[in-house]
Chain A
Amino acid sequence: MAPTSLQHRRTHNILLISKLLNQRDASSPFTLILDSLEQSGRPLLAEFLSRAKAAKVQTIFVSLETLRPSRHVDVFIRAWGKTPAEWRKEVVDALKAEPTQRKLLIIDCLNSLAAIEAASLPALLSSFITPSTSLLAVYHQDVPTLASNTHDDAYSPSTITLLKYLATTIFTAHSLHHVLARKAARDRSHAEPVFGLQEGVEGGIQSLGANGVDGVVLEMEHRRKSGRGVREWYCMTPTSGDPSEHSRATLSLLEDHSSYLPVDNTAAADSDSRTESTFELGLTEKQRRDREGVVLPYFDAQKGGGDGGRILYDMGSEDDFDEEEDEI
């Protein structure tokens, strides 16, 4: 039972994430990437950019912390050193050009934008989203914001709560090293280790293993139009070899990661089923179905209960009927 549902989930969810990354069918109008010091969202952003290039989606990059645009970016708008009105006009102009072209608007640091815009952030972001434009934005989870003391917005939700509510897809980046270390501790019933700022070490802002080069663990929450949510954990591994123009990262379910498989248990289960026999003791799916399909004789006897010990007998051709003895 379990392996088939995993297989189903694997096919289904891998398809879903590649659809999201490739910007197919405008499946997510507002994608939010949440990252932290332990795992930056930049590898995922780079993956979005390179796939958008391959899918011929125009990318408009609004920079609030990036100095040098990636080579896959089509339009690069510096928001720093300008007034909000100036760069917003640039963005609107870029969005208006070529109305039929599919566009991906990227904002690399919502924290800075939230600090400038604060109250009007949701309205600002929604104004950028059109049927042909999707929005992709990065928010650093560990940048604290000042709790407001004014009476006007004392009850309004925090920026991150609003963003999570607005987003149609949320990717949370986790460090592969840390996820594996936590799993290893869990498997041994140890307390799970904490990393980075949570570690609480005086003067330590990052742990060893942060921002690893072997891959990124992505926690995805996708909200369908119907309202149903899909949650999945993925592992994104960079493709080895030369970084060619359209090199893509490999995506797999986190459970399928080589270090995440329950190695010891599967090995034990395999050896159990193969104990000291050359015969195949199990059933294949077809054999099982055929066996269930067999109709056993005298099955109807079980239906007609309550008649006592009545004998049911079908006369064969070799039987001759005796009126005195036989009764049907």
Chain B
Amino acid sequence: MSTRNRIPQLLEPYFRLPPELSLILLTGTLGCTPTWLTSLYVSSILSPQQQQQGEAYTVLLVSWMRDLKFWKTQIRRTTGLDLSKLASEQRFHFVDCTSTTLQHPSTSKDILESTVQQMQSVLSKIESHQPKSRTILILDNPDILLATASTTASNLHQALLPLRSRVHATIVSLTADSPFLAAAAAAATEEASKSRFSPVEVQTSAFVVLMAHAASFVVGVRELLTGAARDVSGVVRITRGGGAYEGDEAGDVKEVEALYLVQRDGGVKVFGRGQMGG
């Protein structure tokens, strides 16, 4: 297992272990997915250095978009961590929701309920096996549930709260393309009554906004306004969410906007505007 530190220096403060019951929101667009951020979070939590420093941490990754095989290759390639080994040590758990969303197309409420039950049972298993370990719950694109009209934003938000209260911290990755956010942007300017949005637009944007209101910080990746470039993959912006005011850590999160480049080997470089990536 490699011990190389793959976290870019500029982003290091945001990869410290999150405070208790906090929420971190990762957003991306079609052209810029935040999977590299998710892998970095998994590896920073499970890295041997972290584990040596004290309490044991467990990761429960629930993915609606990508299967276990993808995450295994992605995380091994970018950070050198072997997920199979960690899974056999009971430190990494995976719930595959890539197909569950389509299992019961007729009874829509059951999909959310069965998924939540599945997660609850995994959490109970972790709690019974490793009572001292702290669990970080990572949800990859739960907004698929909204896109497939399986549930509503409010139901999903309410269903996540009991799960979030059982784990140490939660990391959620969502899509934030402008078509998904148009309804929220209109709601804030009170234009909502004039323009009609489809249920998927409304539910997805409502969920993103609700999550950002609860998040202690939001890490957003997006494409460059000028289009794709060879030496820049996109822009990463970290802002304080509504949850930043909770607890005594208020004001600890510094906002940042920088460019990043995902290299061919999966390593990521983060640098300020005008600076060179290399």
Q: Report A's interface with B, CB cutoff 8 A.
A: 35-37, 40, 42-43, 46, 64-68, 80-81, 109, 111-112, 115-116, 140-147, 158, 196-198, 200-213, 243
Q: Are B185 and A111 in contact (CB under 8 A)?
A: no
Contact for A65 among B161, B184, B244, B257, CB less than 8 A = B161
Q: Are A203 and B186 in contact (CB under 8 A)?
A: no
Asked whether any CB of chain A lies closer than 8 Å to the CB of B45, the reply is: no
CB-CB < 8 A to A64: which residues of B?
158
Q: Are A205 and B176 in contact (CB under 8 A)?
A: yes
Q: Are B210 and A243 in contact (CB under 8 A)?
A: no
Contact for B187 among A42, A145, A204, CB less than 8 A = A145
What are 26 of the A-B contact pairs (CB < 8 Å)? A36-B188, A40-B213, A67-B164, A68-B20, A68-B246, A141-B188, A143-B187, A143-B213, A147-B192, A147-B193, A147-B196, A158-B192, A158-B193, A197-B181, A197-B185, A200-B185, A202-B178, A203-B29, A203-B176, A205-B218, A206-B239, A206-B241, A208-B239, A209-B255, A211-B240, A213-B250
Q: Are B185 and A146 in contact (CB under 8 A)?
A: no
Q: Report B's interface with A, CB cutoff 8 A.
A: 20-21, 27-29, 32, 152-154, 157-158, 161-162, 164-165, 176-178, 181, 183-189, 192-193, 196-197, 199, 202-203, 205-206, 208-210, 212-214, 218, 220-223, 225, 237, 239-242, 244-248, 250-251, 255, 257
CB-CB < 8 A to A67: which residues of B?
21, 161, 164-165
Contact for A42 among B154, B178, B245, CB less than 8 A = B245
CB-CB < 8 A to A80: which residues of B?
158, 161-162
A192 to B222, CA, bound (A): 24
CB-CB < 8 A to A201: which residues of B?
178, 222, 225
Q: Which 6 A-B pairs have the closest CB atoms?
A: A203-B222, A115-B154, A40-B242, A197-B185, A144-B187, A142-B188
CB-CB < 8 A to A243: which residues of B?
248
CB-CB < 8 A to B246: which residues of A?
42, 66, 68
Contact for B209 among A115, A202, A205, CB less than 8 A = A205
Q: Are B21 and A143 in contact (CB under 8 A)?
A: no
A146 to chain B, nearest CB (A): 5
Q: Are A37 and B202 in contact (CB under 8 A)?
A: no
Q: Are B185 and A203 in contact (CB under 8 A)?
A: no
A165 to chain B, nearest CB (A): 14
Contact for B245 among A40, A144, A207, CB less than 8 A = A40
Which residue in chain B gives the minimum CB-CB distance to A207? B239
Q: Are B221 and A142 in contact (CB under 8 A)?
A: no
CB-CB < 8 A to A197: which residues of B?
181, 184-185, 188, 209
B61 to chain A, nearest CB (A): 21
CB-CB < 8 A to A37: which residues of B?
209, 212-213, 241-242
Which residue in chain A gives the minimum CB-CB distance to B241? A211
Question: If A65-B161, A207-B239, A243-B248 touch, does A112 touch B213 (CB 8 Å cutoff)?
Answer: no
User: Apart from A42-B245, A143-B153, A206-B220, what are 17 other A-B pairs with CB-CB below 8 Å?
Assistant: A37-B209, A40-B244, A65-B210, A67-B165, A81-B158, A109-B213, A140-B213, A142-B188, A142-B209, A144-B186, A144-B202, A202-B177, A203-B222, A205-B220, A210-B255, A211-B245, A213-B251
Q: Are A202 and B29 in contact (CB under 8 A)?
A: yes
CB-CB < 8 A to B189: which residues of A?
198
A8 to B52, CA, bound (A): 63
A65 to B251, CA, bound (A): 21
CB-CB < 8 A to A111: which residues of B?
154, 206, 210
CB-CB < 8 A to B152: which residues of A?
115
Q: Are B245 and A43 in contact (CB under 8 A)?
A: yes
Q: Are A198 and B222 in contact (CB under 8 A)?
A: no
